[in-house]
């Protein structure tokens, strides 16, 4: 059920991708302003994940999960009832705020399941992030081509209601709490710093990378995040415990998450353009958006199917080994794509290999994080790790988008990325996978003392019995 919730929440990221060319006319605005429909959701998701995790630790993870899904439903209804830019932005921001459901779900699994069930469950929940994004494109394209575009948001609202009912009726509340005061100043500081950082990353190509606005926001982000870090170190109950986050096991896992996020989004950005490029280019395959989305779907399905394999691998060899293997598989997939892009089946095969690597890596990351932090910090730590993945995808979108926008070729009035541009993006993704491999190798293999906390003994078992009885 939680994996289903994760897929539904992840769908929001690709929900409007098929509408991008028509958004300016549909919303009666400019192309630049219409692009905020996607940017706003990504920013809201990035900001909310560590905050939702911390609130879950304090006030109940199930309660915050219900709130997250309620925001998704409200945002979807807002978007379904409007054709104006302002209301659509409000709805898309609310949809983005639901992204906190994924780290909350991962944390609940640690708290309420028996130890032997946690690994496979967390692997499935982690894979839902990639699955939702992969299947969202073809499903959204099919709906957009065969019905009024508002149906996309009614469908999202319906899925949100189903998820909300399931969580409210089936899911037990986690017995693990962190009683403390919420760090409002820290939350505002983190939100301001992340927006100042991610906004120029996502909009720098259109604003100009050396424009005063872009450089000014980067400088503001650096200043705000430094001041925020100083504040967090001085608080007894910070939003993010930076001392815990600085532990090598947590630090290198989060840095590897950024690298994996960069490599993952390279496939989402480049492969559909390759599949839809005109055949007259000499490399394009001339597919429609629906066909291209269907060709990308197997990669997402592989992520989910591999979740039990990654769990068994983690149980036998440890999450560090799983992350290393995942990084190697991701790199191998892009090497295949570098040399084999002459037919649809070759790109599908490459996407499935990359999807397998992402599934392995995403399953290992929460296991590494939860093995290095106390149970009372699980929500916030998982939220921070999910944020690092979002930073990676944002950086990837900026860098690879810039490459494909500048390395182009013209066919009459149509300008498309050149084959050399695609090869450069694949090389960047291979380099990111290599960086993830190096960072994973630096993660200490020795288990931290906190990985076997006393609460996982008799008291934890009794807590789980109480939860089972309540359920």
pLDDT band at 458 (very low <50, low <70, confident <90, very high): very low
What's the chain look like in SS3? Answer: CHHHHHHHHHHHHHCCHHHHHHHHHHCCCCHHHHCHHHHHHHHHHHHHHHHHHHHHHHHCHHHHHHHHHHHHHHHHHHHHCCCCHHHHHHHHHHHHHHHHHHHHHHHHHHHHCCHHHHHHHHHHHHHHHHHHHHHHHHHHHHHHHHCCCCHHHHHHHHHHHHHHHHHHHHCCCCCCCCCCCCCHHHHHHHHHHHHHHHHHHHHHHHHCCCCHHHHHHHHHHHHHHHHHHHHHHHCCCCCCCHHHHCCHHHHHHHHHHHHHHHHHHHHHHHHHHHHHCCHHHCCCCCCCHHHHHHHHHHHHHHHHHCHHHHHHHHHHHCHHHHHHHHHHHHHHHHHHHHHCCCCHHHHHHHHHHHHHHHHHHHHHHHHHHHCCCCHHHHHHHHHHHHHHHHHHHHHHHHHHHHHHHHCEEEECCEEEECHHHHHHHHHHHHHHHHHHHHHHHCCCCCCCHHHCCHHHCHHHHHHHHHHHHHC
Q: Report the percentage of the chain scoring pLDDT > 70.
A: 93
The answer regarding whether domain 2-173+239-470 maps to CATH 1.20.1250.20 reads yes
The domain locations on the chain are 2-173+239-470, 183-238
pLDDT of residue 450: 37
> Residue 375: pLDDT above 80?
no
Q: What is the pLDDT of residue 205?
A: 74
Q: What is the mean pLDDT of the chain?
A: 83
Q: How much is the pLDDT for 446?
A: 53
pLDDT in tens, 377-436: 777 787 788 888 888 887 887 788 788 877 877 776 667 788 888 999 999 999 999 999
Residue 309: pLDDT band with limits 50, 70, 90: confident
Res. 47 pLDDT band, cuts 50 70 90: confident
Q: What is the pLDDT of residues 324-369, one digit of tens each?
A: 999 999 999 999 999 988 889 999 999 999 989 988 888 888 888 8
- Model confidence pLDDT, tens digit, residues 15-32: 887 777 788 888 888 877
Does 147 or 8 have the greater pLDDT score? 8
Is pLDDT of 179 > 90?
no
Q: What confidence tier does 154 reach under pLDDT thresholds 50, 70, 90? A: very high
- pLDDT by residue (tens digit) across 429-457? 999 999 999 999 998 875 543 343 334 44
* pLDDT (mean) for 202-227: 89
pLDDT of residue 465: 46
Overall average pLDDT of the 152-168 stretch: 93
Please give the pLDDT value at position 429: 93
Mean pLDDT for 180-185 is 80
Lowest-confidence segment of 123-137, 187-201, 209-223 by average pLDDT? 123-137
Which pLDDT band holds residue 35 (cuts at 50, 70, 90)? confident
Average pLDDT (199-217) is 86
pLDDT in tens, 57-113: 888 888 999 999 999 999 999 999 988 888 999 999 999 899 888 888 888 888 888
């Amino acid at each position: 059920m939680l994996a289903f919730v994760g897929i539904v929440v992840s769908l929001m990221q690709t929900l409007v991708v098929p509408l991008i060319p028509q958004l300016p006319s549909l919303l009666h605005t400019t192309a630049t302003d219409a692009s905020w429909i996607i940017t706003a959701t990504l920013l809201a998701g990035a900001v909310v994940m560590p905050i939702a995790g911390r609130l879950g630790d304090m006030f109940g993870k199930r309660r915050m999960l219900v709130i997250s899904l309620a925001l998704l439903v409200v945002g979807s209804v807002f978007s379904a009832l409007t054709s104006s830019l302002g209301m659509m932005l409000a709805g898309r921001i609310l949809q983005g705020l639901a992204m906190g459901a994924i780290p909350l779900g991962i944390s609940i699994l640690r708290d309420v399941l028996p130890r032997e069930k946690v690994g496979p469950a967390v692997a499935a929940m982690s894979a839902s992030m990639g699955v939702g994004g992969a299947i969202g494109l073809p499903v959204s394209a099919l709906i957009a081509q065969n019905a009024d575009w508002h149906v996309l948001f009614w469908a999202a609202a319906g899925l949100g209601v189903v998820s909300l009912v399931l969580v409210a009726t089936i899911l037990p509340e986690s017995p693990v709490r962190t009683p403390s005061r919420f760090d409002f100043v820290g939350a505002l500081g983190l939100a301001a710093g992340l927006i100042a950082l991610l906004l120029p990353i996502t909009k720098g190509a259109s604003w100009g990378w050396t424009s005063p606005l872009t450089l000014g926001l980067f400088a503001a982000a650096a200043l705000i995040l430094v001041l925020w870090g100083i504040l967090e170190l001085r608080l007894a109950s910070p939003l993010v415990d930076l001392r815990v986050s600085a532990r090598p096991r947590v630090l290198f896992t989060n840095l590897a998450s950024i690298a994996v996020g960069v490599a993952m989004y390279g496939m989402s950005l480049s492969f559909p353009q390759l599949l839809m490029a005109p055949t007259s280019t000499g490399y394009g395959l001339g597919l429609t958006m629906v066909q291209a989305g269907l060709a990308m779907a197997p990669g997402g399905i592989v992520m989910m199917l591999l979740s039990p394999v990654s769990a068994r691998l983690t149980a036998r060899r440890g999450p560090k080994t799983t992350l290393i293997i995942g990084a190697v598989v991701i790199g191998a997939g892009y090497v295949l794509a570098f040399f084999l892009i002459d037919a649809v089946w070759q790109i599908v095969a490459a996407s499935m290999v990359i999807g397998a690597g992402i599934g392995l890596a995403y399953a290992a990351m929460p296991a590494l994080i939860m093995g290095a932090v106390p149970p009372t910090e699980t929500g916030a730590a998982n939220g921070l790790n999910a944020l690092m993945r979002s930073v990676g995808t944002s950086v990837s979108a900026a860098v690879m988008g810039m490459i494909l926008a500048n390395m182009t070729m013209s066919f009459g009035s149509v300008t498309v990325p050149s084959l050399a541009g695609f090869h450069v993006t694949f090389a960047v993704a291979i380099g990111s996978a290599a960086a993830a491999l190096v960072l994973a190798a630096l993660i200490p293999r020795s288990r931290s003392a906190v990985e076997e906390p006393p609460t996982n003994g008799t008291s934890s078992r009794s807590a789980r019995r109480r939860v089972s009885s309540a359920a």
